[in-house]
C-alpha cells in the first residue's frame, strides 16, 4: 500500500499524522523546491509513532563531505537542515548518496530552463529504470 500526498497536504499536520499511522516506511521524493517540507514529515512521523524506516530525499552528494560553490552550497545547507532533525528524531533512517556528475549541475545551474532528454536506463518488468552509480548508507 502507498499514499500519494498532494502539495497542500504537506502543511496539514493532522492529515500527515493520520496517513503516517497507516504506513511503516516513508520514502520521500520531493522536488528540491519543496525539500524543506520534509521537516513537516519528520515531525508528523514522530507524532504518528508507527514509522520503522525513513528514506529522506537525500540523493546526490553527502552534504557534510562536500565543499561547494555558493549556488550548490545553498542546496547542501538545506540538506543539512533535514539530516540533523532526522538523526535527532531517533527514527530508523537511510540516506542514499548517489554522488553527482558535474555536467548535470553545470547544465542545471547555468541553464535551469533546459530539459534534459538523454539518459541511460535499463528495463525492469517493462518499466524504464535510470542507471546511476549509487552508494547506500544505512544508519
Displacement of CA 72 from its chain's centroid (Å): 16
Cell of 104: 548535470
Distance between CA atoms of residues 118 and 97, nearest Å: 22
Alpha helices in 21-117 (DSSP H): 38-48, 70-88, 102-110
Which secondary structure element, helix H or strand E, spans residue 34, and what is its range? none
Q: Is there a catalytic annotation at residue 46?
A: no
Catalytic residue (choose from 79, 87, 115, 138): 79
- CB of 78 within 8 A of CB of 31? no
Cβ-based neighbours of 37, under 8 Å, separated by 6 or more: 10, 11, 30
Active-site residue list: 79
Amino acid at each position: 500500500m502507498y499514499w500519494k500526498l498532494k502539495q497542500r497536504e504537506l502543511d496539514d499536520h493532522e492529515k500527515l499524522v493520520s496517513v503516517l499511522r497507516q504506513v511503516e516506511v516513508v520514502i520521500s521524493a520531493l522536488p528540491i523546491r519543496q525539500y524543506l517540507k520534509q521537516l513537516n514529515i519528520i515531525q508528523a512521523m514522530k507524532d504518528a509513532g508507527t514509522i520503522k524506516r525513513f528514506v529522506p530525499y537525500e540523493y546526490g552528494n553527502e552534504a557534510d563531505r562536500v565543499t561547494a560553490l555558493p549556488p550548490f552550497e545553498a542546496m547542501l545547507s538545506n540538506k543539512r537542515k533535514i539530516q540533523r532533525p532526522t538523526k535527532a528524531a531517533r527514527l530508523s533512517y537511510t540516506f542514499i548518496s548517489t554522488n553527482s556528475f558535474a555536467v548535470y549541475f553545470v547544465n542545471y545551474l547555468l541553464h535551469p530552463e533546459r530539459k534534459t532528454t538523454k539518459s541511460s536506463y535499463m528495463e525492469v518488468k517493462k518499466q524504464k529504470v535510470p542507471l546511476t552509480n549509487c552508494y547506500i548508507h544505512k544508519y
